[in-house]
Chains A and B, each alone.
Chain A
Amino acid sequence: MTDKAYETVMARKNQIMSDSLQINYADFEGEGISFDYEHMMNSVAYSMDEMISIQRELGVGNTPIVELKNMTQLARKYDPAGKGARIFIKDEAANASGSFKDRRASISCYHAKKLGYKGVVTATSGNYGAAVAAHAAKLGLKCIVVQECFDSKEVGQPEIVEKARKCEALGAEVVQLTVGPELFYQFLKILEETGYFNASLYTPFGIAGVETLGYEIKQQFDRQVGQQPDVVVVTNAGGGNLTGTVRGLRKAGNTSSQIVAASVDLSGLHMASDEDFNRKSFTTGHTGFGIPFSTNPDRSDVPRSAARPLRYMDRYVLVKQGEVFFITETLAWIEGLEKGPAGNTSLAAAFALAQDMDEDQIILVQETEYTGAGKSVQPQLSFARDNGIDIYFGDPDEEVPGESIVLPKDPGLIKARDLDLNQPKRSRIRTALAQSPSSANFSPAEWQFLAEEINGSIEDVEAFVQELTGGA
């Protein structure tokens, strides 16, 4: 019988990954810490035409873009004359299971089916589980979703509890766990036991699947609006949404839109803490994922992550929980669109950013998601209040994650707070230095790789290295 003790299963990680993915990651490894990202994306993923065709069959993509005229009008009340860009959303809630995650899951499930797997397993507490369940159902694959759901008192975050219901409604087996990173251990055991495909969020298929989103944006704005968005705001967590969207935009010929990442500020809360687990009102799109996955993308559940957001972002802004709740209610009340928290994180940022842009400019929020019992503002605020979180109207800058949710007493107080991009870039180089046995004696290929990782030049990398090693 196979030994299922924690250390022994973790020691078999590479073999389990290899059996469940059939991607030979060694093919893309380069000198030292470098690897050939584009080679991996080009040789493993599908072409744009193939992906569009797969997604059409599965009810994915071709989602509408909608101009938020009332939201724009509201934003213009708080900026100088002549300012206030037109705000648009791309309504990704219109996908099969209600979010952009359908784009990733559709390609992963199609690939699993093509390779002859009987089922798929995914480790996620979010929309991705529902998306994998939906496409597995349609393709006749079995589906297991492993989710972190409860704290040690068996209290579930309402959004995740709702997601379990949705996954089960779509035919999946849901394995629910208490808080902790050893979820990965349970995930590996199930992969090994079932021999199913690893529908990770971070494979090349998973990320390339989002490229169709960026591709559609370029075409829709050309056809329906006559100009490309000046700014595209993307909610950032694991980085796949941003990476895939920008790759798709670029492939379609848009090289001009400024790319802004947005996350909910949950600084101070520990993502693996049992006590902090139910003190946050957002389960994704927050800094607890956004920052670590930007600075160390290969921390994911595959050997090399295809989501590498730092390569594609021009700016990173933070918003507060209270601001996102406020803007979610605003979207429902003045635009007639009741949507979930993920896309509305970007919308809160866009509402503020639009006020610094000219009236003839366009800012696009590139996703929405479905909402319902558990995910919407009312259950989340009710849950927060039950957990002792102080909810009041004031200046959102006063908000302390885990202690308070401050709703803006005036819409003009909603802000997009810039995170200095040098911070995640420096952290990325710090990670590289820790991984490299040769320390700062990088080979030319490694210098080039790191420059690409931080979307900068070799001189930029050298400056960070000098700073971090004290100029030695």
Chain B
Amino acid sequence: MVKKGEWVQISAVVLTAEQRAAQVPEDTKATPLIMWVKGYLLEEEAEVGQEVMIETVTKRRVGGTLVQVNPVYTHSFGRYIPEITQIHQLLADALEGGAENDG
């Protein structure tokens, strides 16, 4: 149960696949244009998946499907990429030779 005033994220279809612009490539045209916005829940209470209204930080009222409560950032520095350590080793080797040339 999500209560009024909680910080949430909603999503809404801006254009269905059929409504998409003529110049859009075929693969994109097969999908709807979807939007996500965050704000404070305006309904007294709601569940994820319901149609709700929110008020954004600029005080706009926007409607859509409730997708997340207390939305979090999930991007990270990613997994270990061995090639990066190899770049560092390659640079160390290259610069060692460079010092000799300078000497």
Contacts and interface: CB of A to CB of B under 8 A. Distances in A.
A173 B84 contact: no
13 contacts: A74-B91, A74-B95, A149-B36, A150-B36, A165-B73, A177-B34, A180-B21, A180-B28, A329-B88, A330-B87, A381-B78, A393-B86, A411-B91
Interface in B6-57: 14-15, 19-21, 23-25, 27-28, 30-39, 56-57
B1 interface: no
Nearest to A119: B58
A73 B95 CA distance: 8
Given A6-B19, A391-B83, A180 B37 contact: no
Interface in B46-94: 56-60, 73-79, 81, 83-84, 86-88, 90-91, 94
Contact of A6 (B21, B34, B35): B21
Contact of A77 (B59, B74, B79, B98): B98
A176 B33 CA distance: 10
Given A161-B75, A182-B20, A381-B83, 7 more contacts: A6-B21, A174-B37, A180-B21, A186-B35, A194-B58, A382-B81, A391-B81
A162 B74 CA distance: 9
A182 B29 CA distance: 11
Contacts of B74: 161
A138 interface: no
B103 interface: no
Interface residues of A, number: 64
Contacts of A177: 14, 33-36
Contacts of B97: 77
Contact of A373 (B14, B35, B77): B77
Interface residues of B, number: 46
B60 A194 contact: yes
Given A74-B98, A142-B58, A378 B24 contact: no
Residue among B21, B28, B30 with the most chain A CB within 10 A?
B28
B57 A181 contact: no
Interface in A261-305: 270, 272-275
A115 to B, nearest CB: 18
A158 B27 contact: no
What 5 A-B pairs come out closest when comparing CB atoms? A382-B78, A152-B31, A379-B78, A274-B28, A161-B75
B77 A378 contact: yes
A144 interface: yes
Contacts of B98: 73-74, 76-77
A395 to B, nearest CB: 15
Nearest to B74: A161
A407 B38 CA distance: 39
A194 B81 CA distance: 45
A158 B60 contact: no
A393 B73 contact: no
Residue among A180, A185, A193 with the most chain B CB within 10 A?
A180
A312 B46 CA distance: 56
Contact of B87 (A149, A174, A176, A326): A326
A193 B59 CA distance: 12
A143 interface: yes
B30 to A, nearest CB: 8
Contact of B101 (A77, A181, A326, A373): A77
A128 interface: no
Given A173-B57, A173-B60, A270-B25, A178 B87 contact: no
Interface in A384-436: 385, 391-393, 407, 409-411
A171 interface: yes
Interface in A124-147: 142-144
Nearest to B99: A73
A186 B19 CA distance: 13
Contact of B24 (A171, A182, A329): A182
Contact of A385 (B77, B81, B86): B81
Nearest to B61: A193
B27 A329 contact: no
B91 A333 contact: yes
A162 B24 contact: no
Contacts of B101: 76-77
Given A175-B37, A411-B94, A180 B24 contact: yes
Contacts of A76: 98, 101
A161 B73 contact: yes
Contacts of A185: 14-15, 21
A272 B24 contact: yes
A374 interface: yes
Contacts of B57: 142, 171-173
A313 interface: no
Contacts of B86: 393
Given A73-B98, A74-B98, A407-B87, A383 B28 contact: no
